């Protein structure tokens, strides 16, 4: 490769460029609607609040899509116990509000995916009420819903008592009875529900609890997902499906044999995950090797596999609670936001929102401003108290804020579609702290996870400074501590 005097392109120059549509929509923003933005002053987040904040999500932050946690009618705050799959919870708005949101997102060429709860319904869902009544009155020969759930005359593990002779399966909670996914009518209903939302313009679905469909039976879970994926793609060929399989890494990899586009990469996320371990040990080389291995393994199962990377989600303690140093938060962000696949940002992650303990604490209000305009009430029972906040309004003005770090990293990601899609190869640059991953043979992402400046040789055409400090002369690169660059080869 010819040697050129390297030109360093500062990310701050990129920030001045007008927004343009990325070639690949690969950055999803996960929203718990109830705590995101209150558009009407009732203390509850709503769909119109999401609509009002699309400029922030797309232009200020840089996300290209949104994942909405359950929005259907439900008796609980979390809404994973659905009462009506074809409607909107009244706290969040109406179907008309939803249509306005989808229309505006489609105009902006943003993707929207919805949480689809396939494993169970609410105990107040009409299907379950009909089934329970028919079982109690001996009328199951007249009521098709009787076989929509799993009933038994004896108490089995995960089953709940109706009376001494009747029990039903509800592994997560007695108020969330598990669906019988072998029932043909249940399957048809799920496809009908999916088509309803796809016809409204959504891109696809996040599938909840995929390893629980058949009580941790991997082969049966894969078989169901294979069927569901094919049927959904028959409805909408480019629909996107991402599954939650909160389990061991080997099982997650095996689940890709179902043909589902993505599964969340739990082994890289959370306080105990690979990313946080790498940051704490300054071991970038090992992390790059782990990314290469993970990519290789899932592509063997599904040649079209797209990894789904995240730091935390609604079930995890928020990362700002254990990444206490701002520089560590920035380094973690640099790592996961520049990894291959699709990345998922949990709302508030970009301003260091905290929360741990009970689930309600992990879904606290988005801190828009100290004045509180649009800030929701916390979920009932939430008891986590954050000592101080970085408000979005202030963070946008602070060039050193975590939010502006997110913005910078995402602008770079959108400039290089090779980061999102393509084969990767890890490189040993002679220093443990250096994460070096080549993407599609065209570019290389390099992070220095240590505090110290590192000098190394690398044949290249151009260097783009992502964050921190770097300099180059001919093929000798000096990379500052906790700094990141892109190499064009």
> What residues act catalytically?
208, 244
Report the largest interatomic distance among the alpha carbons of the chain, rounded to a whole angstrom: 83
Among 149, 158, 155, 239, which Cα is nearest to 191's?
239
Q: Are 477 and 22 in contact (CB under 8 A)?
A: no
Neighbours of 52 (CB within 10 A): 16
3-state SS, 339-366, equals: CCCEEEEECCHHHCCCCCCCHHHHCCCC
Collapse the DSSP code of 447 into the 3-class scheme (helix H, G, I; strand E, B; otherwise coil) and give the result: strand
The residue assigned the tokens 């220093």 is: 431
Token pair for residue 366? Answer: 């988005």
Instruction: Report the alpha-carbon distance of residue 49 to residue 45 in Å, rounded.
Output: 6
Helix axes 326-337, 274-281, angle to 10 degrees: 130
Describe the chain by its helix, strand, coil percentages, rounded to 5.
Answer: 35, 20, 45
Q: Are 412 and 466 in contact (CB under 8 A)?
A: yes
H-helix segments, 19-125: 47-52, 54-55, 95-107
Q: Are 279 and 331 in contact (CB under 8 A)?
A: yes
Token pair for residue 354? Answer: 């905290």
Token pair for residue 122? Answer: 């609410």
Q: Are 363 and 354 in contact (CB under 8 A)?
A: no
Instruction: Report the alpha-carbon distance of residue 77 to residue 34 in Å, rounded.
Output: 8
């Amino acid at each position: 490769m010819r040697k050129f005097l390297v030109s360093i392109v500062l990310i701050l120059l990129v920030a001045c460029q007008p927004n343009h549509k990325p070639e690949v929509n690969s950055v999803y923003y996960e929203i718990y609607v109830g705590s995101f933005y209150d558009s009407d002053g009732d203390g509850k987040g709503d769909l119109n609040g999401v609509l009002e904040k699309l400029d922030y999500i797309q232009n200020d932050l840089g996300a290209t899509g949104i994942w909405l946690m359950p929005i259907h009618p439900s008796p609980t705050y979390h809404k994973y116990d659905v009462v009506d799959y074809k409607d909107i919870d009244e706290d969040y708005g109406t179907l008309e509000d939803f249509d306005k949101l989808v229309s505006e997102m489609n105009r902006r060429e943003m993707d929207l995916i919805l949480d689809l709860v396939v494993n169970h319904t609410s105990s107040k869902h009409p299907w379950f009420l009909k089934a329970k009544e028919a079982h109690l009155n001996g009328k199951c020969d007249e009521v098709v819903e009787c076989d929509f759930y799993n009933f038994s005359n004896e108490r089995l593990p995960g089953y709940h008592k109706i009376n001494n002779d009747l029990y039903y399966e509800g592994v997560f909670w007695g108020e969330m009875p598990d669906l019988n996914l072998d029932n043909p009518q249940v399957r048809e209903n799920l496809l009908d529900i999916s088509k309803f939302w796809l016809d409204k313009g959504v891109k696809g679905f996040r599938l909840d609890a995929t390893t629980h469909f058949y009580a941790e039976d991997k082969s049966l879970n894969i078989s169901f997902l294979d069927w569901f994926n094919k049927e959904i793609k028959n409805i909408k060929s480019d629909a996107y499906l991402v599954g939650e399989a909160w389990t061991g890494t080997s099982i997650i990899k095996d689940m890709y044999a179902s043909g589902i586009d993505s599964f969340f990469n739990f082994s890289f996320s959370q306080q105990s995950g690979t990313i946080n371990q790498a940051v704490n040990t300054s071991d970038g080389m090992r992390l790059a090797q782990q990314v290469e291995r993970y990519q290789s393994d899932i592509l063997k199962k599904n040649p079209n596999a797209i990894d789904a990377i995240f730091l935390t989600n609604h079930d995890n303690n928020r990362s700002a609670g254990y990444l206490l140093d701002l520089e560590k938060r920035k380094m973690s962000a640099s790592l996961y936001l520049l990894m291959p696949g699709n990345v998922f940002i949990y709302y508030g992650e970009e301003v260091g929102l905290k929360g741990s303990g009970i689930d309600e604490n992990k879904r606290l209000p988005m801190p828009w401003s100290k004045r509180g305009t649009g800030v929701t009430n916390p979920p009932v029972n939430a008891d986590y108290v954050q000592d101080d906040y970085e408000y979005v309004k202030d963070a946008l003005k602070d060039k050193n804020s975590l939010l502006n770090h997110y913005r910078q990293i995402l602008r770079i990601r959108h400039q290089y579609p090779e980061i999102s899609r393509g084969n990767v190869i890890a490189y040993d640059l002679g220093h443990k702290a250096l994460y070096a991953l080549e993407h599609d043979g065209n570019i290389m992402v390099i992070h220095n996870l240590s505090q110290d400046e590192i000098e190394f040789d690398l044949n290249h055409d151009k260097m783009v400074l992502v964050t921190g400090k770097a300099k180059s002369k001919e093929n000798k690169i000096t990379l500052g501590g906790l700094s990141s660059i892109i190499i064009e080869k």
